[in-house]
Structure 1
Amino acid sequence: MVQRQLPNPAELLELMQFKKPSFDLKKRRLESALTIADLRTIAKRRTPKAAFDYTDGAAEGELSLARARQAFEDIEFHPRVLRPAESVDTSVEVLGGPSALPFGIAPTGFTRLMQTEGEIAGAGAAEAAGIPFTLSTLGTTSIEGVKAANPTGRNWFQLYVMRNREISYGLARRAAEAGFDTLMFTVDTPVAGARLRDKRNGFSIPPQLTLGTIVNAIPRPWWWYDFLTTPKLEFASLSTTGGTVGELLDAAMDPTISYDDLAVIREIWPGKIVVKGVQNVEDSVRLVDLGVDGIVLSNHGGRQLDRAPVPFHLLPQVVREVGRDATVMVDTGIMNGADIVASVALGARFTLIGRAYLYGLMAGGRAGVDRTIQILRTEIERTMKLLGVSTLAELEPAHVTQLHRLTRGQAGAEVPVTPRA
């Protein structure tokens, strides 16, 4: 028989200690987010549909994005036991400089559309965390504005080669003069992908008021207040080059871009140069043979060619071919620190986050971006400890198995690669 007694009031009080209430609604909102998916839920609630879908959506049937995320979900880890990892070191040297974490913030266009702090929030959070921040050609804060927001941290610049080449050359020179240390030459946008969510939403740049957008905005007055009471949305680094927003966007996509353009940019740019948007082994080998410092395996977050290769699936073979000679990075689909750990284990030197950063921005401005980084940092550290590794250098392919739901038939066999000299 269980012995029973009357409750002791002192013991009850000890058990019933209530959490001190917080009247800071933003802080309470962000602290409730334990994952990037939680931040996405908050962002969707706080942002008009057209702006949220611009961030959240991808091209056509959105198969490339879904497959990229599925690839990370299909990771199987192999922990090693009885290997103490009381503390872990998440720092890495990448492209000639340090990063406190094995990821940086990817270039995103129209960023102030999502939340008015835009790139200023991202650059400031990156500086505080000790990670690189990448500004897009189509960013809504200027090169000089990002440098002012991140004066002591690492700034990278993503470059589209525009139809008017002199505009692109001028941007590269401005970024170099502002102290940006790496140029991310983007090659996967000869034309714009078909982003059907945007078309269905009647989305335009700059946003235009329709009956639908007004109805959708009624429960989100804070977004419209920010949008209407802050400087107009524009491509800040391109604001002096002439043309409307739509014309500049069209000019940024050029199907004539070629290796000749890469050669010209290499002559102009004094720092490290990385090619972003690489999607096969053969191109990786050719680019490294031409002397680029790094490549980013990326399908543009699934926003260009739908059914494009999954960058994470390409990673092991590309690393085998060129990993000794260049920095191999990967993006698309990263939503958890475990995704980053798996990428490093399979040979990636570095990773980039885009949507995860924007979900945090929409959820809470600068504080939301800080929360994104904090969540990913915690997940990276916990995964490393559970795997039994104390440094990123200890991660190796044996720690990870990629479980494949999709299998390639003869048409998708590995591309033969010419042996390198």
Structure 2
Amino acid sequence: MVKRRFPRPSELAPLMKFKTPTLNAKKRRLDAALTIADLRAIAQRRTPKAPFDYTEGAAEAELSLARAREAFRDIQFNPAILRDVSTVDTGWDVLGKRAELPFGIAPTGFTRMMQTEGEVAGASAAAAAGIPFSLSTMGTTSIEGVRDAAPDGRNWFQLYMWKDREKSMQLVDRAAAAGFDTLLVTVDVPVAGARLRDKRNGFSIPPALTVGTIVNAIPRPWWWWDFLTTEPLDFASLSSWDGTVAELLDFMFDPTVTYDDLAWIKEQWPGKLVVKGVQTLDDAKKLTDLGVDGITLSNHGGRQLDRAPIPFHLLPEVARQVGHHTEVHIDTGIMSGADIVASVALGARFTLIGRAYLYGLMAGGRAGVDRAIEILRGEIVRTMKLLGVTSLEELTPDHVTQLQRLVPLR
């Protein structure tokens, strides 16, 4: 039998210390988010369906995105023990300049549709964290607006080559004049992918007020208040558009772009040039021979060709064969700091986050982006320490085993 007694007041006192409540609702909800998945849940509650689905969704059956995330889950870390990991350095040089973390913010289109602070929040948060920010051709803040938001930041410009070459190069010239140091040329968009969620939602620029959108907005009045009481969308690349997203993409993308066009762009751009959307080893080799400064293994977040190659599966072989000649970057499916550490271990010099950043933005504007970066930084540091490494240079392929569910039939 257990002997019971009444507790003494002195024993109860330590248990009666209540946590001081946080009155700021935004801080309270962001502090409660411990993972990017937590930020996603907050974002979904606060954002209307059409812009949330634009962020969340991918092409057709969304298999490419699901497989990319599955590839990161299907890894085994191989830690070393009895190492002094009291301090960890999470930064190194990326394209000739130091990045304090091995990830940056990917270019995302229509960002102010997700939350009105948009690219300004992303650029300023990235600058504060010492990491690059990428402005999309389809961004909703001007090149000069991003420069003004982060004058001391490291800003990159992502280029879709338009059918109108002159207008494309005017954007490139503006980016150079604004001090952007890297051009990301995205090459996996000869046409727009079939993003079925957007079609079903009737996602348009500007958003159309229909019975469905009004009903969906009722529990999210703060989103509409923000949208209607702030400046109209100002695109990085064009003054206005009145139509669906798919119509805009098909109007702008050029299916005739070739390696010759890329070489021509390289001659025009004074800074570093990275080609984004590489999905085969053969193309990685051709681009290396062309002399680009970096390649980004990417299937566009699963938003273009469904069933496309999984970038994380391509990474080890591409890094082995061209990594000594050009920087290898990677995106698609990254949702944690552990994903980033695994990518670096397998040869990536840098990673880009898109949805992870946008979930933070939708959850809380600039403060939400700061929280997303903070979560990823903490996960990177913890994973490195548990692996027994104190710097990114110490990470090697021996630290990661890729477990593979999808094995090609021969």
Q: What TM-score comes out, normalization by structure 2 length?
A: 0.97
Asked if residue 185 in structure 1 is aligned to residue 194 in structure 2, the reply is: no
Query: How far did residue 4 of structure 1 move?
Result: 4.5
Distance, in Å, in 2 between the alignment partners of 1:237 and 1:57 is: 23
Asked if residue 39 in structure 1 is aligned to residue 39 in structure 2, the reply is: yes
Per-residue CA deviation, residues 168-196 of structure 1 (Å, 9 max, x unaligned), is: 10111110111111000110000000001
Per-residue CA deviation, residues 100-129 of structure 1 (Å, 9 max, x unaligned), is: 000000000000000000000000000110
Aligned to 1:363: 363
Aligned pairs for 1:343-354 within 5 A: 343-354=343-354
Aligned to 1:118: 118
Distance, in Å, in 2 between the alignment partners of 1:50 and 1:333 is: 21
Distance, in Å, in 1 between the alignment partners of 2:110 and 2:235 is: 7
Residues 95 and 293 in structure 1, CA contact (< 8 A), matched pair in contact too: yes
Residues 104 and 133 in structure 1, CA contact (< 8 A), matched pair in contact too: yes
Per-residue CA deviation, residues 381-412 of structure 1 (Å, 9 max, x unaligned), is: 000000000000000000000100100112xx
Name the SS of the counterpart of 2:205 in structure 1.
coil
Aligned to 1:58: 58
Aligned to 2:236: 236
Query: How far did residue 231 of structure 1 move?
Result: 1.5
Query: How far did residue 200 of structure 1 move?
Result: 1.2
Per-residue CA deviation, residues 128-179 of structure 1 (Å, 9 max, x unaligned), is: 1000000000110011110111111100000010000011101111101111
Runs of 4 or more above 2 Å deviation: 1-6, 242-252
Asked if residue 94 in structure 1 is aligned to residue 105 in structure 2, the reply is: no
Distance, in Å, in 2 between the alignment partners of 1:243 and 1:358 is: 22
Alpha-carbon spacing, 1:323–1:384, altered in 2? closer, same or farther (3 Å):
same
Q: Which amino acid in structure 2 is aligned with residue 380 of structure 1?
A: I
Aligned pairs for 1:334-413 within 5 A: 334-410=334-410
Aligned to 2:221: 221
Distance, in Å, in 2 between the alignment partners of 1:262 and 1:202 is: 34
RMSD: 1.2
Name the SS of the counterpart of 1:238 in structure 2.
coil
Name the SS of the counterpart of 2:237 in structure 1.
helix
Name the SS of the counterpart of 2:329 in structure 1.
strand
Query: How far did residue 362 of structure 1 move?
Result: 0.2
Aligned to 1:415: none
Farther off after superposition, 6-15 or 60-69: 6-15
Aligned pairs for 1:14-413 within 5 A: 14-239=14-239, 249-410=249-410
Name the SS of the counterpart of 1:38 in structure 2.
helix
Residues 361 and 369 in structure 2, CA contact (< 8 A), matched pair in contact too: yes
Alpha-carbon spacing, 1:20–1:243, altered in 2? closer, same or farther (3 Å):
closer
Name the SS of the counterpart of 1:401 in structure 2.
strand
Per-residue CA deviation, residues 239-289 of structure 1 (Å, 9 max, x unaligned), is: 2xx865667533321110111211111111000000000000000000000
- Percentage identity across paired residues of the two chains: 72
Residues 235 and 245 in structure 1, CA contact (< 8 A), matched pair in contact too: no
Aligned to 1:13: 13
Distance, in Å, in 1 between the alignment partners of 2:403 and 2:173 is: 44
Distance, in Å, in 2 between the alignment partners of 1:245 and 1:197 is: 16
Distance, in Å, in 1 between the alignment partners of 2:346 and 2:236 is: 38
Query: How far did residue 3 of structure 1 move?
Result: 5.5
Residues 164 and 251 in structure 1, CA contact (< 8 A), matched pair in contact too: no
Query: How far did residue 234 of structure 1 move?
Result: 4.0
Per-residue CA deviation, residues 291-337 of structure 1 (Å, 9 max, x unaligned), is: 00000000000000000000000000101110000000000000000
Farther off after superposition, 310-319 or 9-18: 9-18
Point out where structure 1 has 5 or more consecutive residues left out of the alignment.
411-421
Name the SS of the counterpart of 1:372 in structure 2.
helix
Distance, in Å, in 1 between the alignment partners of 2:243 and 2:217 is: 23
Name the SS of the counterpart of 1:275 in structure 2.
strand
Q: Which amino acid in structure 2 is aligned with residue 87 of structure 1?
A: T
Distance, in Å, in 2 between the alignment partners of 1:228 and 1:222 is: 10
Q: Which amino acid in structure 2 is aligned with residue 187 of structure 1?
A: V
Q: What TM-score comes out, normalization by structure 1 length?
A: 0.95
Aligned to 1:417: none
Name the SS of the counterpart of 1:82 in structure 2.
coil
Residues 204 and 243 in structure 2, CA contact (< 8 A), matched pair in contact too: no
Q: Which amino acid in structure 2 is aligned with residue 88 of structure 1?
A: V
Q: Which amino acid in structure 2 is aligned with residue 233 of structure 1?
A: L
Distance, in Å, in 1 between the alignment partners of 2:24 and 2:258 is: 52
Per-residue CA deviation, residues 60-96 of structure 1 (Å, 9 max, x unaligned), is: 0000000000000011000111112111100110001
Point out where structure 2 has 5 or more consecutive residues left out of the alignment.
none
